[in-house]
Amino acid sequence: MSAHIQKSRLDDLKFDNRFVGVLPADPIADNHRRQVTAACYSRVLPQIVARPELVAFSKDAASLLDLSAADCMSSEFAEVFAGNRTLDGMDPYAMCYGGHQFGNWAGQLGDGRAINLGEIINARGERWALQLKGAGPTPYSRTADGLAVLRSSLREFLCSEAMHYLGVPTTRALSLIRTGESVVRDMFYDGRPQAEPGAVVCRLAPSFIRFGNFQLFAARGEIEVLRSLVHYTIETDFPELGPPSKETIVAWFAEVCRRTATMIVHWMRVGFVHGVMNTDNMSILGLTIDYGPYGWLENYDPDWTPNTTDAHGKRYRFGHQPQIGMWNLVQLANAIYPLVEETEPLEQALATYASTYESSWQSMMAAKLGFDRYSGDADLALITELIELLQLVETDMTIFYRRLAEIDSGQQFNADQCMALFANAYYVPDEVSREYVQRVTTWLNRYIERLREDSCDDVSRRAQMNTVNPKYVLRNYLAQLAIDKAEAGDYTLVNELLEVLRTPYEELPNSEAFAGKRPDWARERAGCSMLSCSS
């Protein structure tokens, strides 16, 4: 994508910067690695890069900032969102927070490679925080360099937008810009580091506050800083709850529980595996945040994790994500306890997570199967049998549900017809035994009987199912193909994928190649199966 030199409206962005205006700052201005106490952030400037080059931008994300495509293709845009130029009104900073990583308290973590440029108020009165990821070191970088490579930056850019179009709560991605510099990374932590192209992603969210922001101040006994942050969060992002008080804090926590449950149900709906659900990667707004070693479930395996660091314990495997959501919320409850000083209200709020998840999951599965409603134990038995069947042979989850929508509820299926319907969803046809096909056929005919209990006709049911079961997801191998081309300077596939992923539920006759199941060559290839936390 070429950049054209022309005047943009970047200087018209109206920065509010309430976060730095209200909350306590790190008094030390020098940007060196250190423990930062009694402060919510440290002011820090992005690192200047050699040759900013626009790889891609999201026109829909740009519209959130009232920017046009022409604005995004200006040379000024690349300079600003690579970190080379600071606009009037920007007040860049890195957040201070802690967190549990793989179940263990890690102490201070913070924005080690993310720099917030500030928060703007758009023409509709919405608040959007702008954050550069990979823009250089901060006081929280520890032993790292604060930079990012094109490989991981491209994955984050595409996935942020893909998740939005899928209807999953998420942070957004405005732009992907190459820096013209190399970054050394040991992708698999095997002692073989390599130089890779550097890049910066600009991320957008109403707020980037995480569970870990609150945890750190509680762990250190910095209760007044904790109180200031909780009050700021309620007043800024949850104003409908009313002025901060003990009761409001409990209501706020219950709302965080509800949003977190809703987000994870959406992950389960589309087959997304976050891969690193540490508490510092959990958004207080219930948004999917920090796209690192994520992956899409292709063959349905509840025990799959895309994260090499998690390969042994599989703490963050697909099927365990709901339980981890609860575990993380318990840690947040512990953090805010000093402001409530009562256990029972927090436990009642935590119960909101379980009840919201259960009811939302039931409704979600009913929608995936095209039912008018979830009908209790009978539907649960049907769903349980289906989930078991999907695991017995390698079955592509996305393709299976799209094919299921195509059935005629007036038909009775035999084994051959059933196999023909789902053949394209199976990765290893030789695994599909006669006994298995018979079992699937029995399930399919029971499913058809259930459909007949509803009043919905096939055309309407099919349309409804195809609004919750996507045709296109960001399959791991597709992202890797885009990376391969982008590293060679060809950004066409990045932008083509972005355009396809804008309409993931539509039938796009010219884009069928993007709906195919994972090819055999991608089964074990790096970037297509598992990834490390390294960027």
Residues identified as active-site: 280
Query: Are 249 and 345 within 8 A, CB to CB?
Result: no
Q: Which amino acid, residue 80? A: V
CA distance 522 to 382: 32
Written in H, E and C, the secondary structure of 110-175 is CCCCEEEEEEEECCCCCEEEEEEECECCCCCCCCCCCECEHHHHHHHHHHHHHHHHHCCCECEEEE
Strand order across the 172-185 sheet = 41-43, 93-95, 114-121, 127-133, 194-205, 172-185, 53-57
Report the 10 Å Cβ neighbour count for 444.
22
Q: Tell me the C-alpha distance between 346 and 251, whole Å.
A: 9
| Single-letter amino acid, residue 160 | S
Q: Please, is 134 exposed, middle or buried when counting C-beta atoms within 10 Å of its C-beta (0-12, 13-18, 19+)?
A: buried
The candidate with the shortest Cα–Cα distance to 56, out of 487, 475, 473, 493, is: 493
Structure tokens at 526: 């790096």
The whole-angstrom separation of Cα 388 and Cα 440 is 10
d(CA 68, CA 70): 5
Closest to 382 (Cα-Cα) out of 431, 442, 301: 442
- Tell me the one-letter amino acid at 462: R
* 436 vs 443: CA distance, rounded Å: 11
**Three-state secondary-structure class, residue 379:** helix
Nearest alpha carbon to residue 24 among 210, 223, 283? 223
Cα distances from 424 to residues 68, 295, 521, 527, in angstroms, run 41, 21, 17, 24
Local structure of 69: helix, strand or coil: helix
Closest Cα to residue 211, out of 333, 107, 120?
333
Length of the chain: 535
Contacts of 366 (CB under 8 A, 6+ apart): 372, 373, 374, 375, 379
Pick the closest to residue 50 from 136, 131, 156 (CA basis): 136
Calpha distance 128→108 (Å, rounded): 26
